[in-house]
Structure 1
Amino acid sequence: MLHQSREQTPHCALTAIEAHRAQLMNRIDSWVLLVSPQPLPTARVHTHTMGQVIDRLAQLTAHTYTALAAGPDEVFWEATEFVDDLAIAYTDLATELLAGTRRLPVTTTSL
């Protein structure tokens, strides 16, 4: 919902939406750190936090809905492919975190 609102909001009025997005990402990251097992010493660091991954998935989903409502079929199917690819990557990341073979960067998201 935030990303749909974001697409229809003038750039100069995005401050509240961006602050809310950053807050949600940070809450997700805190929760994931709390419930995830300790990663193995050899675990590789992922490039994004889980909050950032979920935010990106939400952004691409909103883009897909927009393409479905107002875009040509080709744009919709391309957007759907992006969402599918990211959903698979999200699932892989969650699996790796639970196995301890991947760690997340420790950062605070600010937009």
Structure 2
Amino acid sequence: MLRSAHALAELHARRNQVGDPFLIAEIDCRRSELVDDINDWVTSEVPQHRNGASLHTESLGAVVDRMARSWVDANKAIDASGPRSDNTHKHWYHLAELVDGYTDLVTDVAGGRRRLPEQ
């Protein structure tokens, strides 16, 4: 899963650098494959509690993809605005919120309080 998350971050960074719609479509296709890989891993490794567990609105792979994009955006903000700017703070704060949400989601799934959507 960590390799897929890292690859997602690399794809988001590359996506920010290209302007060709064909290349962007290829990158997005690869991102979709990696999101599916993460979701497949979760399905095989994490027991899903269906009875009484509330349904989360997106897959874990989609959450990891959003965190990867946010990480790239936060680093880009440092390069563009400097480490102490309000813009940089906004991006890193957003990433921290996503990480907190991810942590809560994983904790709830593992505890049987929340379930992930089926693919």
TM-score, normalising length: structure 2: 0.85
Distance (Å, rounded) in 2 between the aligned partners of 1:35 and 1:100? 14
Distance (Å, rounded) in 2 between the aligned partners of 1:10 and 1:20? 17
Residue identity matched to 2:68:
A
Preserved contact between residue 67 and residue 98 of structure 2 (Cα < 8 Å)? yes
- For these two proteins, the number of residue pairs brought into alignment is 107
Distance (Å, rounded) in 1 between the aligned partners of 2:42 and 2:77? 31
Consecutive unaligned residues in structure 2, runs of 5 or more: 1-9
Q: Once structures 1 and 2 are overlaid, which stretch shifts more, 87-96 or 71-80?
A: 71-80
Distance (Å, rounded) in 1 between the aligned partners of 2:34 and 2:56? 19
Show the counterpart of 1:39: 49
The residue matched to 2:117 in structure 1 has which SS? Answer: coil
Residue identity matched to 2:13:
Q
CA gap of 1:106–1:11, structure 2 versus 1, over 3 A, is farther
Distance (Å, rounded) in 2 between the aligned partners of 1:11 and 1:36? 38
Q: Give the one of 78, 81, 88 matched to 2:90.
A: 78
Distance (Å, rounded) in 2 between the aligned partners of 1:11 and 1:63? 20
- Identity within the alignment, %: 31
Q: Once structures 1 and 2 are overlaid, which stretch shifts more, 75-84 or 65-74?
A: 65-74
The residue matched to 1:14 in structure 2 has which SS? Answer: helix
Following superposition, the deviation at residue 32 of structure 1 comes to 0.5
Greater than 4 Å deviation, 4+ residue runs: none
Q: Give the one of 57, 68, 77 matched to 2:78.
A: 68
Residue identity matched to 2:73:
H
Distance (Å, rounded) in 2 between the aligned partners of 1:11 and 1:48? 29
Q: Deviations over 1:34-84 (max 9, x none)?
A: 111231411011011000000000000000000000125111000000000
Q: Give the one of 9, 14, 17 matched to 2:18.
A: 9
Consecutive unaligned residues in structure 1, runs of 5 or more: none
Preserved contact between residue 96 and residue 102 of structure 1 (Cα < 8 Å)? yes
TM-score, normalising length: structure 1: 0.91
